[in-house]
A = this chain, B = another copy of it.
Amino acid sequence: MSTAIGTPNIALVKYWGKRDEELNLPTNSSISMTLDEKLTTKTSVLFTEEIDQDRLYINREEQDINGADIPEKSMFIKRALEYMRKKSGIKGHALIVSENNFPTSSGIASSASGGATLVFALSDALGLKMTRREMSIIARQISGSACRSVYGGIVEWKKGKKPDGSDSFARQVIKPSYWGDLRDVITIVDTSKKKISSSVGHHTTIATSTLYKNRPKHADAEVKIIKDAIKRKDFQAMAEIIMRDSNDMHATMLDTWPPIMYLNDNSRDIIYAIHELNEKKGRYVAAYTFDAGANAHIITTEDFINDVLDVLKGINSVKSTIQSGVGNGPKILKNESLIDLSKLSPI
Protein backbone atom coordinates (compact mmCIF):
# COMPACT_ATOMS: atom_id res chain seq x y z
CA MET A 1 0.00 0.00 0.00
CA SER A 2 1.33 3.43 -0.94
CA THR A 3 0.22 6.94 -1.84
CA ALA A 4 2.17 9.34 -4.06
CA ILE A 5 1.71 12.90 -5.18
CA GLY A 6 2.95 14.26 -8.50
CA THR A 7 2.50 17.23 -10.77
CA PRO A 8 2.13 17.99 -14.49
CA ASN A 9 4.88 19.47 -16.59
CA ILE A 10 4.66 22.08 -19.30
CA ALA A 11 6.72 21.34 -22.38
CA LEU A 12 8.96 24.18 -23.54
CA VAL A 13 9.97 22.21 -26.62
CA LYS A 14 7.10 19.88 -27.45
CA TYR A 15 6.71 16.16 -27.91
CA TRP A 16 4.53 15.62 -30.98
CA GLY A 17 4.90 12.51 -33.10
CA LYS A 18 6.00 8.98 -32.21
CA ARG A 19 8.50 6.72 -33.89
CA ASP A 20 6.95 3.81 -31.98
CA GLU A 21 3.31 4.05 -30.97
CA GLU A 22 3.32 1.02 -28.68
CA LEU A 23 6.28 2.17 -26.61
CA ASN A 24 5.66 5.93 -26.87
CA LEU A 25 9.04 6.58 -28.46
CA PRO A 26 9.21 10.13 -29.78
CA THR A 27 10.57 11.50 -33.06
CA ASN A 28 12.34 14.30 -31.19
CA SER A 29 13.73 15.11 -27.76
CA SER A 30 11.77 17.54 -25.62
CA ILE A 31 12.18 19.86 -22.66
CA SER A 32 9.75 20.69 -19.88
CA MET A 33 9.31 22.48 -16.61
CA THR A 34 7.81 20.37 -13.85
CA LEU A 35 5.06 22.39 -12.16
CA ASP A 36 4.70 22.88 -8.43
CA GLU A 37 1.96 21.53 -6.21
CA LYS A 38 -0.78 23.99 -7.19
CA LEU A 39 -1.79 21.27 -9.65
CA THR A 40 -1.49 17.77 -8.30
CA THR A 41 -2.34 14.17 -8.90
CA LYS A 42 -2.62 11.94 -5.86
CA THR A 43 -2.57 8.22 -6.39
CA SER A 44 -3.05 5.46 -3.83
CA VAL A 45 -2.26 1.85 -4.64
CA LEU A 46 -3.24 -1.19 -2.63
CA PHE A 47 -2.46 -4.80 -3.46
CA THR A 48 -5.07 -7.07 -1.94
CA GLU A 49 -6.74 -10.43 -2.40
CA GLU A 50 -10.10 -9.04 -1.34
CA ILE A 51 -11.10 -7.73 -4.76
CA ASP A 52 -11.92 -9.89 -7.78
CA GLN A 53 -9.73 -8.11 -10.33
CA ASP A 54 -7.46 -5.08 -10.80
CA ARG A 55 -9.47 -1.91 -10.41
CA LEU A 56 -8.63 1.68 -11.38
CA TYR A 57 -10.54 4.79 -10.34
CA ILE A 58 -9.64 8.20 -11.79
CA ASN A 59 -11.49 11.14 -10.27
CA ARG A 60 -13.94 8.67 -8.71
CA GLU A 61 -14.88 7.08 -12.02
CA GLU A 62 -13.95 3.46 -12.54
CA GLN A 63 -11.87 2.88 -15.69
CA ASP A 64 -11.99 -0.42 -17.52
CA ILE A 65 -8.50 -1.94 -17.35
CA ASN A 66 -9.46 -5.57 -17.84
CA GLY A 67 -10.67 -7.37 -20.95
CA ALA A 68 -9.51 -7.25 -24.54
CA ASP A 69 -11.22 -4.20 -25.93
CA ILE A 70 -10.10 -1.50 -23.48
CA PRO A 71 -8.85 1.98 -24.47
CA GLU A 72 -5.15 2.34 -25.32
CA LYS A 73 -4.43 4.42 -22.20
CA SER A 74 -5.91 1.70 -19.95
CA MET A 75 -3.90 -0.91 -21.82
CA PHE A 76 -0.71 1.00 -21.19
CA ILE A 77 -1.51 1.36 -17.48
CA LYS A 78 -2.30 -2.35 -17.29
CA ARG A 79 0.99 -3.17 -19.00
CA ALA A 80 2.99 -1.09 -16.50
CA LEU A 81 1.11 -2.65 -13.60
CA GLU A 82 1.71 -6.21 -14.84
CA TYR A 83 5.38 -5.52 -15.42
CA MET A 84 5.99 -4.04 -11.97
CA ARG A 85 3.88 -6.61 -10.14
CA LYS A 86 5.77 -9.44 -11.84
CA LYS A 87 9.09 -7.82 -11.01
CA SER A 88 8.15 -7.61 -7.32
CA GLY A 89 6.86 -11.15 -7.05
CA ILE A 90 3.84 -9.88 -5.13
CA LYS A 91 0.47 -11.47 -5.95
CA GLY A 92 -2.95 -10.02 -5.45
CA HIS A 93 -5.08 -7.56 -7.34
CA ALA A 94 -4.33 -3.87 -7.49
CA LEU A 95 -6.75 -1.24 -6.34
CA ILE A 96 -5.63 2.09 -7.78
CA VAL A 97 -7.35 5.32 -6.84
CA SER A 98 -6.16 8.51 -8.49
CA GLU A 99 -7.42 12.05 -8.18
CA ASN A 100 -6.45 15.29 -9.89
CA ASN A 101 -7.18 18.68 -8.41
CA PHE A 102 -7.54 20.08 -11.94
CA PRO A 103 -9.83 19.28 -14.89
CA THR A 104 -8.89 16.16 -16.85
CA SER A 105 -8.41 16.39 -20.63
CA SER A 106 -8.47 20.16 -20.81
CA GLY A 107 -4.97 20.80 -22.09
CA ILE A 108 -3.38 20.52 -18.67
CA ALA A 109 -1.53 17.27 -18.99
CA SER A 110 -3.25 15.08 -16.42
CA SER A 111 -1.82 12.03 -18.16
CA ALA A 112 1.74 13.20 -17.42
CA SER A 113 1.23 13.71 -13.69
CA GLY A 114 -1.03 10.65 -13.59
CA GLY A 115 1.52 8.35 -15.20
CA ALA A 116 4.48 9.54 -13.14
CA THR A 117 2.58 9.47 -9.85
CA LEU A 118 1.21 6.00 -10.53
CA VAL A 119 4.68 4.58 -11.18
CA PHE A 120 5.92 6.20 -7.96
CA ALA A 121 3.08 4.71 -5.92
CA LEU A 122 3.39 1.27 -7.54
CA SER A 123 7.14 1.15 -7.04
CA ASP A 124 6.74 2.04 -3.37
CA ALA A 125 3.78 -0.26 -2.72
CA LEU A 126 5.62 -3.17 -4.33
CA GLY A 127 8.87 -2.37 -2.51
CA LEU A 128 10.76 -2.18 -5.79
CA LYS A 129 13.32 0.52 -4.96
CA MET A 130 13.54 1.59 -8.62
CA THR A 131 15.77 4.40 -9.82
CA ARG A 132 14.16 7.53 -11.25
CA ARG A 133 15.49 6.51 -14.65
CA GLU A 134 13.74 3.13 -14.45
CA MET A 135 10.56 4.85 -13.33
CA SER A 136 10.88 7.33 -16.17
CA ILE A 137 11.04 4.52 -18.74
CA ILE A 138 7.92 2.88 -17.33
CA ALA A 139 6.06 6.18 -17.00
CA ARG A 140 6.90 6.90 -20.67
CA GLN A 141 5.12 3.73 -21.67
CA ILE A 142 1.97 4.88 -19.87
CA SER A 143 1.98 8.33 -21.44
CA GLY A 144 4.99 9.78 -23.25
CA SER A 145 5.23 13.08 -21.39
CA ALA A 146 4.80 11.29 -18.04
CA CYS A 147 8.46 10.30 -18.23
CA ARG A 148 9.34 13.97 -17.69
CA SER A 149 7.10 14.38 -14.62
CA VAL A 150 9.23 11.79 -12.79
CA TYR A 151 11.75 14.59 -12.14
CA GLY A 152 11.48 18.03 -10.63
CA GLY A 153 13.14 21.12 -12.05
CA ILE A 154 13.62 21.51 -15.77
CA VAL A 155 13.75 18.18 -17.49
CA GLU A 156 14.92 16.82 -20.82
CA TRP A 157 13.46 13.76 -22.43
CA LYS A 158 16.18 12.27 -24.62
CA LYS A 159 14.43 10.64 -27.54
CA GLY A 160 16.91 7.73 -27.67
CA LYS A 161 17.64 5.51 -30.63
CA LYS A 162 17.06 1.92 -29.51
CA PRO A 163 13.97 0.09 -30.76
CA ASP A 164 13.18 -1.21 -27.25
CA GLY A 165 13.14 2.31 -25.79
CA SER A 166 15.71 1.54 -23.09
CA ASP A 167 17.56 4.78 -23.93
CA SER A 168 14.44 6.95 -24.15
CA PHE A 169 13.96 8.52 -20.72
CA ALA A 170 14.01 11.85 -18.95
CA ARG A 171 16.72 13.48 -16.87
CA GLN A 172 17.01 16.65 -14.93
CA VAL A 173 18.59 19.66 -16.67
CA ILE A 174 18.46 21.98 -13.65
CA LYS A 175 17.23 21.54 -10.11
CA PRO A 176 14.03 23.36 -9.00
CA SER A 177 16.03 25.80 -6.85
CA TYR A 178 18.50 26.71 -9.64
CA TRP A 179 16.09 29.17 -11.26
CA GLY A 180 13.67 29.72 -8.42
CA ASP A 181 11.90 32.76 -9.83
CA LEU A 182 10.76 31.06 -13.03
CA ARG A 183 6.96 30.98 -13.28
CA ASP A 184 4.19 29.44 -15.35
CA VAL A 185 0.96 31.43 -15.36
CA ILE A 186 -1.73 29.05 -16.56
CA THR A 187 -4.94 30.50 -17.93
CA ILE A 188 -8.02 28.38 -17.46
CA VAL A 189 -10.35 29.00 -20.36
CA ASP A 190 -11.94 25.75 -21.38
CA THR A 191 -12.48 22.77 -19.15
CA SER A 192 -14.51 20.83 -21.70
CA LYS A 193 -13.12 17.57 -23.01
CA LYS A 194 -10.81 17.71 -25.97
CA LYS A 195 -12.36 16.75 -29.31
CA ILE A 196 -9.27 14.87 -30.41
CA SER A 197 -7.14 12.89 -27.99
CA SER A 198 -3.42 13.54 -28.19
CA SER A 199 -2.58 9.98 -29.12
CA VAL A 200 -4.75 10.08 -32.25
CA GLY A 201 -3.15 13.40 -33.17
CA HIS A 202 0.40 12.07 -32.75
CA HIS A 203 -0.42 9.38 -35.23
CA THR A 204 -2.28 11.32 -37.91
CA THR A 205 0.17 14.22 -37.98
CA ILE A 206 3.07 11.94 -38.88
CA ALA A 207 0.92 10.00 -41.30
CA THR A 208 -0.53 12.98 -43.18
CA SER A 209 1.29 16.29 -42.64
CA THR A 210 3.78 17.19 -45.36
CA LEU A 211 5.07 20.10 -43.31
CA TYR A 212 5.81 17.84 -40.32
CA LYS A 213 8.87 16.34 -42.01
CA ASN A 214 10.94 19.36 -41.03
CA ARG A 215 9.86 19.36 -37.40
CA PRO A 216 11.82 16.57 -35.61
CA LYS A 217 15.29 17.70 -36.66
CA HIS A 218 14.44 21.31 -35.95
CA ALA A 219 12.99 20.49 -32.52
CA ASP A 220 16.11 18.50 -31.60
CA ALA A 221 18.24 21.50 -32.52
CA GLU A 222 16.02 23.74 -30.37
CA VAL A 223 16.38 21.39 -27.40
CA LYS A 224 20.15 21.82 -27.52
CA ILE A 225 19.91 25.61 -27.70
CA ILE A 226 17.27 25.99 -24.99
CA LYS A 227 19.19 23.70 -22.60
CA ASP A 228 22.18 25.99 -22.78
CA ALA A 229 19.94 29.04 -22.41
CA ILE A 230 18.33 27.54 -19.30
CA LYS A 231 21.67 26.70 -17.74
CA ARG A 232 22.79 30.32 -18.04
CA LYS A 233 19.28 31.62 -17.09
CA ASP A 234 19.02 33.40 -20.44
CA PHE A 235 15.31 34.21 -20.61
CA GLN A 236 15.71 36.03 -23.96
CA ALA A 237 17.01 32.99 -25.81
CA MET A 238 14.63 30.66 -24.00
CA ALA A 239 11.48 32.73 -24.60
CA GLU A 240 11.71 32.84 -28.37
CA ILE A 241 12.25 29.09 -28.64
CA ILE A 242 9.29 28.40 -26.35
CA MET A 243 6.89 30.51 -28.41
CA ARG A 244 8.15 29.39 -31.78
CA ASP A 245 8.11 25.73 -30.86
CA SER A 246 4.51 25.99 -29.69
CA ASN A 247 3.50 27.70 -32.94
CA ASP A 248 5.46 25.13 -34.93
CA MET A 249 3.70 22.21 -33.26
CA HIS A 250 0.23 23.73 -33.72
CA ALA A 251 1.11 24.46 -37.36
CA THR A 252 1.83 20.78 -38.01
CA MET A 253 -1.49 19.98 -36.31
CA LEU A 254 -3.33 22.33 -38.66
CA ASP A 255 -1.53 20.67 -41.57
CA THR A 256 -2.75 17.25 -40.37
CA TRP A 257 -5.60 15.62 -42.29
CA PRO A 258 -8.25 15.99 -41.07
CA PRO A 259 -6.91 19.15 -39.41
CA ILE A 260 -6.39 19.38 -35.64
CA MET A 261 -7.06 22.81 -34.20
CA TYR A 262 -6.51 23.45 -30.50
CA LEU A 263 -5.82 27.17 -30.73
CA ASN A 264 -8.93 29.36 -30.62
CA ASP A 265 -9.74 33.08 -30.59
CA ASN A 266 -8.75 33.24 -26.95
CA SER A 267 -5.37 31.69 -27.71
CA ARG A 268 -4.89 34.19 -30.54
CA ASP A 269 -5.74 37.07 -28.22
CA ILE A 270 -3.18 35.81 -25.72
CA ILE A 271 -0.52 35.28 -28.38
CA TYR A 272 -0.95 38.81 -29.73
CA ALA A 273 -1.12 40.29 -26.21
CA ILE A 274 2.14 38.64 -25.14
CA HIS A 275 3.85 39.85 -28.32
CA GLU A 276 2.61 43.35 -27.49
CA LEU A 277 3.83 43.12 -23.90
CA ASN A 278 7.28 42.02 -25.04
CA GLU A 279 7.39 44.82 -27.60
CA LYS A 280 6.41 47.35 -24.97
CA LYS A 281 9.19 46.10 -22.70
CA GLY A 282 11.72 46.03 -25.53
CA ARG A 283 12.68 42.44 -24.73
CA TYR A 284 11.11 39.11 -23.92
CA VAL A 285 9.61 39.13 -20.46
CA ALA A 286 7.02 36.41 -21.11
CA ALA A 287 6.56 33.49 -23.47
CA TYR A 288 3.30 31.72 -24.36
CA THR A 289 3.04 28.01 -25.00
CA PHE A 290 0.02 25.81 -25.69
CA ASP A 291 -0.23 22.05 -25.33
CA ALA A 292 -3.01 20.01 -26.89
CA GLY A 293 -5.67 22.32 -25.49
CA ALA A 294 -6.67 25.97 -25.51
CA ASN A 295 -5.31 26.87 -22.06
CA ALA A 296 -2.29 29.09 -22.31
CA HIS A 297 0.84 28.68 -20.26
CA ILE A 298 2.72 31.94 -19.91
CA ILE A 299 6.32 31.34 -18.89
CA THR A 300 7.77 34.36 -17.15
CA THR A 301 9.81 35.31 -14.10
CA GLU A 302 8.65 36.59 -10.70
CA ASP A 303 9.54 40.20 -11.69
CA PHE A 304 7.01 40.26 -14.51
CA ILE A 305 4.13 38.29 -12.98
CA ASN A 306 2.11 41.47 -12.50
CA ASP A 307 2.64 42.59 -16.09
CA VAL A 308 1.46 39.20 -17.30
CA LEU A 309 -1.58 39.25 -15.01
CA ASP A 310 -2.45 42.76 -16.22
CA VAL A 311 -2.30 41.59 -19.82
CA LEU A 312 -4.49 38.57 -19.08
CA LYS A 313 -7.05 40.72 -17.26
CA GLY A 314 -7.63 42.46 -20.57
CA ILE A 315 -8.71 39.21 -22.20
CA ASN A 316 -12.37 38.46 -21.62
CA SER A 317 -12.34 34.73 -21.97
CA VAL A 318 -9.65 34.16 -19.34
CA LYS A 319 -11.73 33.08 -16.36
CA SER A 320 -8.93 32.49 -13.90
CA THR A 321 -5.21 31.87 -13.66
CA ILE A 322 -2.97 29.54 -11.73
CA GLN A 323 0.57 30.60 -10.90
CA SER A 324 3.06 27.80 -10.68
CA GLY A 325 6.74 27.78 -9.87
CA VAL A 326 9.24 25.06 -10.68
CA GLY A 327 8.17 21.89 -8.90
CA ASN A 328 10.13 19.21 -7.08
CA GLY A 329 8.64 16.20 -8.84
CA PRO A 330 6.70 13.31 -7.30
CA LYS A 331 7.05 12.04 -3.77
CA ILE A 332 5.52 9.45 -1.44
CA LEU A 333 2.95 10.69 1.08
CA LYS A 334 3.46 8.72 4.26
CA ASN A 335 0.33 9.58 6.19
CA GLU A 336 -2.30 10.02 3.54
CA SER A 337 -4.43 7.64 1.50
CA LEU A 338 -7.33 7.75 -0.93
CA ILE A 339 -8.24 4.18 -0.03
CA ASP A 340 -10.35 3.37 3.00
CA LEU A 341 -8.39 0.63 4.77
CA SER A 342 -11.21 -0.10 7.22
CA LYS A 343 -12.86 -2.15 4.47
CA LEU A 344 -9.89 -3.72 2.68
CA SER A 345 -6.72 -5.40 3.89
CA PRO A 346 -3.42 -5.25 2.08
CA ILE A 347 -1.56 -8.43 1.23
Tell me the chain A residues, 21-62 only, with Cβ under 8 Å from chain B.
Answer: none
Residue A275 at the B interface, CB < 8 A? yes
With contacts A250-B254, A268-B264 known, is A214 near B218, CB below 8 A? no
Interface size bracket, A side: 20 to 34
List 15 additional A-B contacts (Cβ < 8 Å) besides A211-B248, A244-B255, A261-B268: A210-B218, A211-B211, A211-B212, A211-B214, A211-B215, A211-B251, A213-B214, A214-B214, A248-B255, A250-B254, A251-B251, A251-B254, A251-B255, A258-B275, A261-B271
Copies of this chain in its oligomeric complex: 2
Contact (Cβ within 8 A) B210 A248: yes
Residue A7 at the B interface, CB < 8 A? no
The smallest beta-carbon distance between A332 and chain B, in angstroms, is 42
Interface of chain A: mostly helix, strand, loop or mixed: helix
The smallest beta-carbon distance between A296 and chain B, in angstroms, is 14
Residue A259 at the B interface, CB < 8 A? yes
CA distance A246 to B212 in the complex (A): 16
CA distance A258 to B287 in the complex (A): 12
Residues of A in contact with B (beta carbons under 8 Å apart): 209-215, 218, 240, 244, 247-248, 250-252, 254-255, 257-259, 261, 263-265, 268, 271, 275
Contact partner of A247 (CB less than 8 A), chosen from B244, B255, B271, is B255
Complex interface: chain B residues within 8 A of A213 (CB): 214
Closest to A261 in B: B268
Complex interface: chain B residues within 8 A of A211 (CB): 211-212, 214-215, 248, 251-252, 255
CA distance A185 to B211 in the complex (A): 28
Contact partner of A264 (CB less than 8 A), chosen from B247, B248, B265, B271, is B265
Complex interface: chain B residues within 8 A of A248 (CB): 210-211, 255
CA distance A218 to B251 in the complex (A): 16
What are some 28 contacts across the A-B interface (CB < 8 A)? A210-B214, A210-B215, A211-B211, A211-B214, A211-B215, A211-B248, A211-B252, A211-B255, A213-B214, A214-B214, A240-B257, A247-B254, A247-B255, A247-B259, A248-B255, A251-B251, A251-B252, A251-B254, A254-B254, A254-B263, A258-B275, A259-B271, A261-B263, A261-B268, A261-B271, A264-B265, A264-B268, A265-B265
